[in-house]
Every structure is written in structure tokens, then in C-alpha cells.
Amino acid sequence: MTLDRRTLLAALTATGVSAPVSATYAAATPGGGFGMDVTKFGVRANGIDDQSRALQEAINAAAGSRVPLFFPPGVYRAGDLVLPSGANLVGIAGASRIALGYGASLAASSRAEQITLSGLTFDGNSRLLPEHRGLLTIRNTRDFVMRDCAVLSTAGTGLLLESCDGEVSNNVFTGALKAAIFSLNATGLAIRNNTIRNAGNNGILVWRSEKGDDGTIVSGNRIEDIAARDGGSGQNGNGINVFRAANVIVSDNRIRNCAFSAVRGNAASNLQVRGNSASSLGEVAIYSEFDFEGAVIANNTIDGAALGISVTNFNHGGRLAVVQGNLIRNLVTRGKAFVDQEARGIGIGVEADTIVSGNVIEKAPVAGIWLGWKEYLRDVAVTGNIVRQSRIGIAVQVSKGAGSALVADNLISGTTMGAILGMDGLKRVTNDMSAEKPAQYAQLTISGNRVQ
């Protein structure tokens, strides 16, 4: 005998075993399992009326039974939906759409666990959202999973996560007025393989209210066309922005056309930025700045930026880094090398307790590598790099109070001003030191470099 759904439900009832889903509401979900059909609760697809009340009843019933709630193809208009523990909303990718009609969020949860959203399109209808809310607002939630969804036309933040763990993967975020994804105070989050396009201020934000361990993994995302709609000096316009969050990994992302940076770490200790491909950036491509200890920036490719990699703000406690194996080229000044002491046209700039090794830099119109700023230079080693076609190969600060630097075994070719120059701020104060180092700079070790 073939066991179909009706036969199975009848058999369970006849034997006294409780069926997990009432036959009245049962539906086959896209994954091949059983759940509840949202239309069985009086929810009507493609109607002009708000469906929030009936949708909430369906969400509560399915979550209470711990079964998926299936959305057949169509548009469902709603607002301020609440996602309780166990909510599992399932749709057909590209066909099942929930559109915002009113409210502070389309859907929200607080102090819940085991929430799953899959195969759904969440449409913000360009309705303005309040501050500190997203089209989807998920707070203090354990085991949150969102995959194969789309978030569209959000007049604010697309997905707001606060004190959450779980995974956000394989989703598409398009047209968020502020940030596509904003995570605050994560407790074990992975943001993987999403596509983010045309965000007004930022692609992905990983922030904390105070400095502390975070550990979010941001990997394999495609991020394109990020503006800085609300202006500022770097808080907006970034593909990925990590603020106060320690032990974050940013890897294997493709980031293109951002008003400021591809990856920007601010007060983010033990940040790892590795294996990313970044192009067409308006400012520093990869930035580690302000009050951090520990950064690894490795094996990234950067093509087109005002500055390739910057590890800076030793004056505010920024220190301790490895910059290794990066390929950086085609940097620009847009007319001025320095604006209010902000550098342009430089491949790599570092200040304190940092090794710069095995990088390849080509076509930096000001300098391939820039070491320190005035007295803010300490314990920097620059070894085994290739610098080609730059005005200055390696610039090192020799201002009063500047600390030690080792410049050894680099290959420098095609420079127009000099291979290795001593600087006092922006002022050149030495001849090319690749041939002979002035005796008064005992803090510098320069050896084994090849210049051609």
C-alpha cells in the first residue's frame, strides 16, 4: 500500500497517535516535509487588505506545534508581526512575498529561540522605518537562521540583529536606505554568502555597545555599490564595518564600488581580514584604526582606492599588526596627496608594532609603503615586498621621537623621487637611503634592498 499524506494522518489517528499537524492545516513544504499552509488560516495572497491578524494566528499555531508555516506564491501585506520561539516561515524563493503595509518592522522577535526564515521575500515598500528598527528586527534571540531570502526596498536597515547567534546565509539585500545587515552585540553569528547591493550607508555592520569579544564570521559575501548617504568621515560608505567588536573574521568577500572602505575596523582588536577581493574604493580599501590591539590583513587583492591598507592611530592606542601577502595596485590621489593629513595615493601605511611582508604594490602615485606619522612610529619591520612604479618606494618618518624601523630585502623599481626616503611629516628630509643611510638615524636598519 502506498502511504500518502492523507493515509498517514488517518493511520496515526486510528492508532491513537497524535499527528503533529492537523489535516485541516497540513501542507507539503518545499523541503519535502509537512507543515501548516498559511492560507488555511484565512490568509489571502495578492489581496489589497492587511493580513497581519490572520498571519499572526498562523505563525503562533505553527510555532506552537514546532512545524514550518508554508507561504504559497503570492504577496501578503502585513506589519508588526511577532516571531515567537519555534517560528519557521518557509516560502518559494522569488515567489512568496511579505510586503510592509504599516508598523515599525515587518516582523520582529525578542527573547526567542530557534527562529528560521527561508525562501521568502521581505519587501519594505520604501516605507520609512523608525530609528533602531529594521525591516526585520531580531533581538536577544538564540539560534536565528535566515537563508535563501530577499530583503528589498527598505527605507532604513534591512536586518537588525541585537544580541543574537545563528546564521544569515545565501540571502539577497537590495536597496536598503541605511545598512543591509546591522549586528549589535552578537553572541555567535555567521554572515555568509549573501549578496548586498545599493545600500545607502553600509553593507554589513558588526558593532558592539562597548569593546569586547564578538567573534562574528563574515565570509563569502558579494557587496556592491555602497554609498555614504548620511555623510561623515568614515562611519558610512563601507562594505563591511567592524566597531568595538573583537575577534571578528572577515574573509573571502568580493567588495566593489564603496564610497569609503571595503573593510573598516575601528577599535576592533584581533581583527582578521583575509582573502578578500576589493576594487573601486573611494578612500582606504582596508582600514584598521583607533584603539585596537591586533590585526591580521593578509592575502587580499585591492585594485583601485585612495589608499590600499592603513593600520593607524598609534596616538589613540592602535598597534600590533601583520600585513602580509596582499596585492595592491592602481591607487589614486584625485588631485591631492594629503587632505587634512589624510593620505591618498599610498599602497600600505602602518605605524606601530607591525610587520609588512611579502606584499606586491604597483602604481602608487605618492608612495608604495609609508611608515609612521611624525613621532608616531615604533617597531616596524618591512621585508620582502615588491614596490613598482611609485613616486616614492618606501617613506619612513625620521621626525624627533620617531621609533625603530627595519627595511630589508625589498625590491623597489621604477620610482621617480627615491626608493627609500626619510620624512618629517610630509617633508622629505633625506636623500635616497637605499644606497647609504645617514649616521644620525640609528633607529633605522636598512639593508639588502634591491633598487632598479
Span 352-400, pLDDT tens digits = 999 999 999 999 999 999 999 999 999 999 999 999 999 999 999 999 9
Instruction: Band the pLDDT of 25: cuts 50, 70, 90.
Output: confident
Q: What CA–CA distance (Å, rounded) separates 361 from 47?
A: 58
- Indicate whether 103 pLDDT > 70: yes
Q: What is the pLDDT of residues 255-304, one digit of tens each?
A: 999 999 999 999 999 999 999 999 999 999 999 999 999 999 999 999 99
Question: CA of 199: how far to CAs of 94, 126, 161, 169, 292, in Å?
Answer: 20, 13, 17, 18, 27
For strand 367-371 and strand 338-339, is the pairing parallel, antiparallel, or unpaired? Answer: unpaired
- Indicate whether 418 pLDDT > 50: yes
- Indicate whether 341 pLDDT > 60: no
Q: What CA–CA distance (Å, rounded) separates 343 from 451?
A: 25
Instruction: Band the pLDDT of 344: cuts 50, 70, 90.
Output: confident
Question: CA of 99: how far to CAs of 48, 150, 351, 370, 374, in Å?
Answer: 11, 12, 50, 51, 55
- Indicate whether 16 pLDDT > 50: no
Tell me what the pLDDT averaged over the chain comes to.
93
Q: Return the domain boundaries, the chain.
A: 306-452
- Among 169, 192, 180, smallest CA distance to 226 is for 180
Instruction: Band the pLDDT of 31: cuts 50, 70, 90.
Output: low
Stretch 222-234: mean pLDDT, rounded?
Answer: 97
Instruction: Band the pLDDT of 29: cuts 50, 70, 90.
Output: confident
**pLDDT the model gives residue 5:** 42
- pTM for the predicted model, two decimal places: 0.93
Stretch 320-337: mean pLDDT, rounded?
Answer: 89
Residue 132 per-residue DSSP state: T
Residue 119 forms beta bridges with which residues?
A: none
**pLDDT the model gives residue 321:** 98
First-residue to last-residue Cα distance in the chain:
83
Task: Yes or no: say if 62 and 69 are a contact pair by the CB < 8 Å rule.
Answer: yes
* ∠ Cα 209 192 239 (to 5°): 60
**pLDDT the model gives residue 336:** 58
Q: What is the pLDDT of residues 353-365, one digit of tens each?
A: 999 999 999 999 9
- Indicate whether 17 pLDDT > 90: no
Q: What is the pLDDT of residues 41-86, one digit of tens each?
A: 999 999 899 999 999 999 999 999 999 999 999 999 999 999 999 9
Task: Yes or no: say if 427 and 401 are a contact pair by the CB < 8 Å rule.
Answer: no
Q: What CA–CA distance (Å, rounded) separates 299 from 305?
A: 17
**pLDDT the model gives residue 364:** 97
Stretch 18-43: mean pLDDT, rounded?
Answer: 73
CA atoms within 13 A on the CB side of 168: 30
Stretch 190-198: mean pLDDT, rounded?
Answer: 98
CA atoms within 13 A on the CB side of 225: 10
Span of 2-16, 135-149, 233-247, 277-291 with lowest mean pLDDT: 2-16
C-beta atoms surrounding 80 within 10 Å: 15
**pLDDT the model gives residue 32:** 64
**pLDDT the model gives residue 19:** 43
Task: Yes or no: say if 330 and 307 are a contact pair by the CB < 8 Å rule.
Answer: no
**139 or 336: which leads in pLDDT:** 139
**pLDDT the model gives residue 24:** 64
User: What residues have CB less than 8 Å from 194, skipping those under 6 apart?
Assistant: 168, 169, 170, 171, 172, 173, 180, 181, 221, 222
**149 or 25: which leads in pLDDT:** 149
Task: Yes or no: say if 222 and 254 are a contact pair by the CB < 8 Å rule.
Answer: yes
Stretch 21-37: mean pLDDT, rounded?
Answer: 71
Span of 51-55, 56-60, 333-337, 431-435 with lowest mean pLDDT: 333-337
For the chain, percent of residues with pLDDT exceeding 70: 92
For the chain, percent of residues with pLDDT exceeding 90: 90
**Cell numbers that stand for 270 in this block:** 584581533
Span of 25-29, 83-87, 299-303, 410-414 with lowest mean pLDDT: 25-29
Span of 137-146, 156-165, 299-308, 335-344 with lowest mean pLDDT: 335-344
User: What residues have CB less than 8 Å from 199, skipping those under 6 apart?
Assistant: 173, 175, 176, 178, 179, 180, 225, 226, 227
